[in-house]
Amino acid sequence: MAKISKTSPLAPKGGFPKLPVINGVRFSTIAAGVKYADRSDVMLAQIDAGSSVAGAFTRSSTRSAPVLDCQSKLGRVEDDSKGFAFLVNSGNSNAFTGGAGVKAVEAITSATAQTMNLPASHIYTASTGVIGEPLPFEKITNALGELSESLAADRIEDAARAIMTTDTFPKGSSATCEIGGIEVTVAGIAKGSGMIAPDMATMLVYIFTDAKISQPGLQDMVSRLNEVTFNSITVDSDTSTSDSLLVAATGASGAEVEGNETFERTLGVVMKDLAHQVVRDGEGATKFVEIRVSGAINNIDARKVAMSIANSPLVKTAIAGEDPNWGRVVMAVGKSGVHADRDRLSIWFGDVLVAENGWVSPTYVESDAAAHMKGEDLAIRVDLGLGAGQSIVWTCDLTHGYIEINADYRS
């Protein structure tokens, strides 16, 4: 596997943020030797009884065994006097491993259930790493004793590091809000450096809060927010077989947030920040790009246009080359398959109006747009001039670094 260990130039300055403790959640990690030597590769999160767990998963039709298992459990509470556990390993994705993959999930969940004294249906696992190789699950089950004895509330950064694969930096984020005079805290971690390949860069996200909310209420918020955060990013248009997002609300703060918009916004801040960090760690990325589409007939059309621009290799290579190549944006609008009128299109790079009314803008001076393209955080805006539909997606550029990581080695 490629050794691209240099931290992404787009990584948040200042390193991993100081994350607050979430009451009701404890973490531990261990170097179990699943694949990597000399680093932690399994993380356990213990979540207290009375918590709600919501989530979202890859829509791939070739989903991994752990994803299928998690999906079957979501929303079920077998024993409400019992909490939950998340167990995640890196180094092996247990994807496309046939019947052996299902058995490995069963072995890990039942051993974790026994060690933690929880029903197996309260155990959510995930695996990320190489695909098609049998998961050496005994290495994980043998480590459970030590994992369960070293749980601590302040070890979330260790957890963020244990789930990394080709990530160049660990990803964490937090936010707080006040609900009925009580401070509510949200903190989460993620891994992923693309949408992305099953053998390397699956996206996994774990978020925790001390807010009090029912499972359906939390699931509702998570599903809605997921669309405008993790489902609105793309590195290379490729979708992992293992992408998993889990959100646990322990209720330890006592703040009731059922249907509360302030809480939903706060959760959304953490989800968006983590989603952006995944793009900022996109394989080979040197530019972070917000694509904002407005004026479509509806939001679905706007999303299609935004994704068509964000996934276009020609747009992404132009961005890498710091080239304000609006012609490629026009092309990407045209190929998106949605209704567009060439003569109503307007395109901006940053604040610079580049094209309008089917041609280059009379006020356009290329050096203005070129100056914007030299930045690290870019914005491309397209207005279709047809309706009120809008969408925002985030992506990165396509560089030699992407080719190096994905082509210049034999797996």
Active site residue 202: yes
Is 218 in a helix, a strand, or coil? Answer: helix
Q: Rank residues 228 and 331 by Cβ distance to a copy of itself and give the closer one.
A: 331
- Residue 247's DSSP bridge partners are 54, 207
Closest separation in Å from C-beta 35 to a copy of itself: 14
Burial of 180 (0-12, 13-18, 19+ CB in 10 A): exposed
Closest separation in Å from C-beta 236 to a copy of itself: 4
Residue 69 lies near a copy of itself (rule: CB under 8 A)? no
The H helix count followed by the E strand count for the chain is 12, 16
Residue 63 lies near a copy of itself (rule: CB under 8 A)? yes
Q: How wide is the angle at C-alpha 70 spanned by C-alphas 393 and 184, nearest 5°?
A: 65
Rg (Cα) of the chain, in Å, rounded? 22
Q: Rank residues 48 and 368 by Cβ distance to a copy of itself and give the closer one.
A: 368
Q: Rank residues 146 and 376 by Cβ distance to a copy of itself and give the closer one.
A: 376
Q: Rank residues 134 and 180 by Cβ distance to a copy of itself and give the closer one.
A: 134
Residue 331 lies near a copy of itself (rule: CB under 8 A)? yes
Residue 166 lies near a copy of itself (rule: CB under 8 A)? no
Residue 138 lies near a copy of itself (rule: CB under 8 A)? no
From 21-29, 93-101, 104-112, 159-167, span contacting a copy of itself (CB under 8 A): 93-101
Would you state the structure tokens that stand for residue 290, as one six-digit string? Answer: 């917000």
Closest separation in Å from C-beta 401 to a copy of itself: 9
Is 224 in a helix, a strand, or coil? Answer: helix
Residue 342 lies near a copy of itself (rule: CB under 8 A)? yes
Active-site entry in 115, 202, 395, 399: 202
Among 335, 363, 376, 377, binds a copy of itself (CB under 8 A): 335
- Residue 187's DSSP bridge partners are 174, 208
Closest separation in Å from C-beta 239 to a copy of itself: 4
- Alpha-carbon gap, residue 129 to 87, rounded angstroms: 15
Name every residue whose Cβ is closer than 8 Å to that of residue 376 and which is 6 or more positions away in sequence: 9, 10, 286, 287, 288
- Asked if 221 and 249 touch (Cβ cutoff 8 Å), the reply is no
* Residues in region 237-256 near a copy of itself by CB under 8 A: 237-241
- Alpha-carbon gap, residue 18 to 313, rounded angstroms: 36
From 18-26, 33-41, 253-261, 328-336, span contacting a copy of itself (CB under 8 A): 328-336
Is 42 in a helix, a strand, or coil? Answer: strand
Closest separation in Å from C-beta 225 to a copy of itself: 22
